[in-house]
Every structure is written in structure tokens, then in C-alpha cells.
Amino acid sequence: MGKKEMSTYHRPFPNTWWLKRKPYVLFMIRELTSVFVAGYCIFLLVFVYKLTQGADVYGNFIDALKSPSSVALHFIALAFVLYHTITWFNLTPKILVLYKGEERIPQGLVAGMFYAGWVVVSVIVALFVLGM
């Protein structure tokens, strides 16, 4: 452009940027929840594996799960997984933009479909578990 390069000041962007504002903190928590989601998937795989190892191994595993530290860990994981689910469900209308003619389908309705699906699946799982 034939323009003389102007000296500019580049402000530092510290690693603690996400602590500066609440929306960034909430975003970071959402990112962190993925660790718990992945961890719980691994746990479920181990669970299935133990199931294949016979009644004794499985029984011991179940007993170990009843320890207070294991129960506490499950509650922590539950909290993070709920946070993960709710924040992502709330973001679905951004990704799934639906129109009926000229009118956009309300964002709440789109998210609502996911919540409804979640309730249905949860009820089915609950019936299955309780019916055993």
C-alpha cells in the first residue's frame, strides 16, 4: 500500500485471561467438564470389562465402588457431566438453525427438543435399572 510501517504497541495477553471475566471462567469450566465425561466413559468400559471377568471379580469391583471416596467422586463427576450436558444443550440452537418459511424456529424450542429427548432416555434407563 506504500504506507510507512507505523510503530505499534502489542499488549501482552496473559495466560490468566480466562480469570478476568465470568463468561470466560464458565467457558473454561465447560472445557474442563470434558475430562470428566471422557473419564466416565473409561470407567464404563472398565465396568463392562469387570463384568466379563466372572462373579467374584465383579463383586469385588462393586464393593470397591461403595467406598465413600468412590461415591464422592461419582457425585463430583455427576455435577461436571450435568454442567457439560446443560451448557451444550443450551448451545444447540446456535448450531441447529431451523426455519419455517421466513420465521426462525424459536431457540428455546430447539434446545427443548434436546431436553425432552434427555428426559425420555433417562426414564427408559431408569425403568430398565429399577425393573431389574
Q: Which residues bind another protein (CB under 8 A)?
A: 6-11, 13, 17-18, 20-21, 23-24, 27, 31, 91, 94-95, 97, 99, 101-104
In terms of C-beta distances under 8 Å and separation of at least 24 residues, what long-range contacts does 21-26 make, across chains too? 26/87
Kindly state the smallest distance separating residue 115's Cβ from another protein, in Å. 19
DSSP three-state, residue 100: strand
For the CB of residue 34, give the shortest distance to another protein in the complex, in Å. Answer: 11
Residue 15 or 52 having the CB closest to another protein: 15
Structural contact between residues 118 and 85, judged by C-beta atoms closer than 8 angstroms:
yes
How far apart CA 27 and CA 103 sit, in angstroms, is 30
Least distance (Å) between residue 99 CB and another protein: 6
Distance from CA of residue 25 to its chain's centroid?
15
Nearer to another protein, 8 or 52 (CB): 8
